[in-house]
Amino acid sequence: MESIQVFAPASVANVGPGYDTFGFAIEQLGDVITLTKRNDHKLKVLKAEGADLPTDPKNNVATVAIQSLLDYLESDQGMDVHIKKIFKPGSGLGSSASSASGAVFAANHLLGNPLKLEKLLDFALEGEALASKSYHADNVAPSLLGGFQVVRSYEPLELFRIPTPAALRVLIIFPDVEIKTSEAKGLIPKELSVKDAREQWGNVGALIHAMHSEDYSLLSHAVRDRIAEPVRKQLIPEYGKVKQTTLDFGAVGFNISGSGPSMFAFFKSSEAAKACMVKIEKMYQKVNLPVMLHLTKINPNGCQIL
C-alpha cells in the first residue's frame, strides 16, 4: 500500500455532566486525511484545506501524532500528509482530535497494521495534546473508536463504550465565533463543593443508565452540568435563547459541545429537530451571525478507510 485516505469523525465531548469524561462521534463532519509514502524519511504536510493549519510537522497535530507512532514502532517511514477539514477548528467539535485520530489510524494502515486500534489512542492523544495543551481522551476516543465513549480513568487511561438508542438524533448548532479550548479551560473552577460534585455524578450515572435503557425522560433530566456550562455559556451568543428553543421543540437534553461555541441537542426524532432548526436559523439571522446547523446521529464508527 502506497497511499491511503481516511475519514475521522468530529465529536461532541462533555455531553452535559461528563466533563472530560463523555464523548461521542457524529456523522458527516470530520477530517479527510490522505497519506502517501515518501522515499525519504520526512513527514511533510502537503496541503491543508478548510482551515489555516500549521504546515511545520512539529506544530501540526496530524504529523505530531504520526511521529509519536513512528517513534514507538522505531520506523522512519516518510509520509506526505494531506488534510481536508469538513468543519472549522475552534468550533468545539474536537477538530484537533479528528486530525490526530485520522492521522494515526491512516499511518498504522499504511504501515501494514502493526498495532491494534485501541493501542493507537496513545499516539492520537500525543497529537491532540499539542493543540489543547492537555490530554483529552473524551474527543480522541470517539473520533478513533466511534460511538459513545466514557473515560473511567486518565491514569492509567481506561475507557468503555456505552450503547445508545438507535432513534436518538443530535442537532449540532455552531454559531460562527471562535472559542479557543485553552481560553475556555481557564474559566473552569479548580475546586468543586462535594454537594455539587455529588449532583454531577448523579447525572453522570443517570445519563449512562438512560442510554442503556432508552429512558428519554431520565435522559432529559440527566444532561446537566455544574462545571463548564455555568462559566462557558457567557462566551456563546444567544445561548439561553437557543437552549430554551430546543427544549420547547421537545429536545431531551441540551448543552455545550466541548469547549463551545457549538451546542448540541438530543431529539427523539428528526421531525422535531428539523422544525427546531428553522426557528434557530431565524434567531441568528436577527443578530446577523452565521450559524451552521447539522442534524446527525451518534456515529457508531470511528475512523474509516475511504
Grid cell, residue 245, equals 428553543
Phi, psi at 85, each rounded to 5°: -95, 125
Which residue reads 511533510 in cell numbers?
Answer: 44
Taking CB under 8 A as the rule, does residue 154 contact a second copy?
yes
Taking CB under 8 A as the rule, does residue 49 contact a second copy?
no
CB of 196 to a second copy, least distance (A): 8
CB of 191 to a second copy, least distance (A): 5
Among the listed residues 47, 119, 152, 180, the single contact to a second copy using CB under 8 A: 152
Grid cell, residue 120, equals 493507537
CA atoms within 13 A on the CB side of 186: 6
- 50 assigned to a ligand binding site: no
- 275 assigned to a ligand binding site: no
Taking CB under 8 A as the rule, does residue 52 contact a second copy?
no
199 counts as catalytic: no
Among the listed residues 51, 117, 218, 235, the single contact to a second copy using CB under 8 A: 218
Cα distances from 200 to residues 8, 46, 142, 226, in angstroms, run 30, 45, 22, 7
- 94 assigned to a ligand binding site: yes
| Residue 97 near residue 112 (C-beta atoms within 8 A) | no
How far is residue 287's CA from residue 182's CA, in Å, rounded to a whole number? 27
Catalytic residue among 128, 164, 238, 246: 128
How far is residue 35's CA from residue 4's CA, in Å, rounded to a whole number? 5
Among the listed residues 204, 252, 265, 303, the single contact to a second copy using CB under 8 A: 204
- 142 assigned to a ligand binding site: no
Taking CB under 8 A as the rule, does residue 215 contact a second copy?
yes
Q: Which of 23, 63, 19, 21 is nearest to 41 (CA)?
A: 63
How far is residue 293's CA from residue 274's CA, in Å, rounded to a whole number? 10
For a second copy, which is the closer residue by CB, 173 or 252? 252
Among the listed residues 153, 234, 285, 301, the single contact to a second copy using CB under 8 A: 153
CB of 149 to a second copy, least distance (A): 11
How far is residue 297's CA from residue 76's CA, in Å, rounded to a whole number? 39
Taking CB under 8 A as the rule, does residue 182 contact a second copy?
no
Instruction: Find all residues with CB under 8 Å of 183, minimum gap 6, and list them.
Output: none
Among the listed residues 125, 208, 242, 272, the single contact to a second copy using CB under 8 A: 208
Q: Which residues pair with 22 in a beta bridge?
A: 150
| Residue 90 near residue 178 (C-beta atoms within 8 A) | yes
Taking CB under 8 A as the rule, does residue 144 contact a second copy?
no
Strands 169-175 and 18-38: unpaired
State which of positions 184-203 bind a second copy (CB under 8 A): 188-194, 197-203
For a second copy, which is the closer residue by CB, 207 or 283? 207
Catalogue the active-site residues: 128, 181
Q: Which residues of the shown chain bind a second copy in the complex (CB under 8 A)? A: 17-22, 150-154, 158, 160, 162, 188-194, 197-209, 212, 215, 218, 221-222, 227
